[in-house]
């Protein structure tokens, strides 16, 4: 059931712009901090999850997203944890699909570990989802189990099969980890491109209780690109999603490779996004601790005026960039906030 439009303010709030004149048209919304994996770079194996009562309801998440759409957000990515382990999450997808159908929202998508795709792929395709990102760091089953601690690679691969069969475009995300999966990047890229899927590599970030391990396994993507260049011809691509990835076309495969480099190549000057946690906290930067409570204004009034005021105040204070490089070099302590809480 969707949110009654009568609960939305009759005012016409302006588009979202931060203090550095950057237009915010993309939000990543975590629907849960829970996950059925325990990836080394994302959460501790003995993580303590939030009480369910602390989470925004699916109705509140839908209303919150609708308020952002009314402010000019054109892309919503649902994340977690693992978004597909949230009970009843398809209700949220169905509610948000109406914004895609009206043209107000350009894209509704999600990032997933793939464990639940075999079950949900067809339903997602029916909810106006056209493409998804699947996190996959290796095709070696034993190594996959070691990285994810609980993950089952064959199940994830069946999920990718189901997604493609349902007509979803799939992009593979891989966190590059020195001494763990650096030897897999060529084979993983060839496999992804052979199935018509783009490939994006991401540098490990100093977040969570295991941030020190992430720093120890930090692998600059320049080294990943060098490994790929030994096997493929990389040419700068004209493709852009408006996000932080820099893309290259591979002549031999006909596919694209993206590199997201929060440490080795700061991309903050073009930042177009904010993140909302499953408890309704707005983080304007993944690498900063500044946050704003959106749950209180969301629950305080049926109008979105208080909510919009809180969003505007947070954006006005949004910093120019993150501190990942300083944290990686020990200048500042790494963030203890896990990646799973902030929404990937």
Known binding residues are: 28, 35, 39, 41-42, 77, 81, 111, 135, 171, 205, 268, 271, 273-275, 285
Contact 343, 277 (CB under 8 A): yes
- Enumerate the known binding-site residues for [4Fe-4S] cluster: 35, 39, 42, 268, 271, 285
- Enumerate the known binding-site residues for GTP: 28, 77, 111, 171, 273-275
Residues 6+ apart with CB under 8 A from 8: 63, 66, 67, 70, 303, 304
Ramachandran region of residue 185, left (φ > 0), alpha (ψ -120 to 50) or beta? alpha
- Enumerate the known binding-site residues for S-adenosyl-L-methionine: 41, 81, 135, 205
CA 143 to chain centre: 23
Residues 6+ apart with CB under 8 A from 87: none
Ramachandran region of residue 127, left (φ > 0), alpha (ψ -120 to 50) or beta? alpha
SS3 170: strand
CA 156 to chain centre: 18
């Amino acid at each position: 059931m969707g949110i009654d439009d009568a609960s939305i303010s009759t005012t016409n709030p302006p588009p979202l712009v931060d203090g550095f004149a950057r237009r915010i048209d993309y939000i990543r919304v975590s629907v849960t901090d829970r996950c059925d994996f325990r990836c080394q770079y994302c959460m501790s194996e003995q993580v303590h999850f939030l009480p369910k009562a602390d989470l925004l309801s699916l109705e509140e998440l839908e209303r919150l997203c609708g308020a952002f759409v009314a402010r000019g957000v054109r892309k919503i990515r649902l994340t977690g944890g693992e978004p597909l382990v949230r009970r009843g999450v398809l209700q949220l997808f169905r509610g948000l699909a109406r914004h895609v159908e009206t043209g107000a929202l350009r894209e509704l998508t999600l990032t997933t570990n793939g464990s639940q795709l075999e079950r949900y792929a067809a339903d997602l395709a029916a909810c106006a989802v056209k493409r998804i990102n699947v996190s996959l760091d290796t095709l070696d089953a034993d190594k996959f189990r070691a990285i994810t601690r609980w993950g089952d690679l064959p199940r994830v691969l069946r999920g990718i099969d189901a997604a493609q069969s349902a007509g979803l475009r799939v992009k593979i995300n891989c966190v590059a980890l020195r001494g763990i999966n650096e030897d897999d990047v060529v084979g993983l890229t060839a496999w992804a491109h052979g199935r018509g899927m783009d490939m994006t590599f991401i540098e490990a970030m100093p977040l969570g209780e295991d941030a020190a391990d992430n720093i120890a396994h930090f692998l600059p993507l320049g080294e990943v690109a060098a490994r790929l260049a030994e096997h493929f011809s990389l040419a700068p691509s004209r493709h852009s999603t408006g996000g932080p990835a820099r893309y290259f076309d591979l002549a031999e495969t006909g596919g694209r490779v993206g590199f997201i480099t929060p440490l080795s190549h700061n991309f903050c000057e073009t930042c177009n996004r904010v993140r909302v946690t499953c408890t309704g906290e707005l983080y304007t930067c993944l690498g900063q601790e500044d946050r704003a409570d959106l749950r209180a204004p969301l629950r305080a009034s049926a109008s979105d005026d208080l909510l919009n005021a809180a969003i505007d105040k947070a954006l006005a204070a949004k910093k120019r960039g993150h501190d990942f490089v300083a944290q990686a070099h020990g200048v500042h302590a790494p963030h203890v906030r896990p990646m799973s809480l902030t929404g990937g």
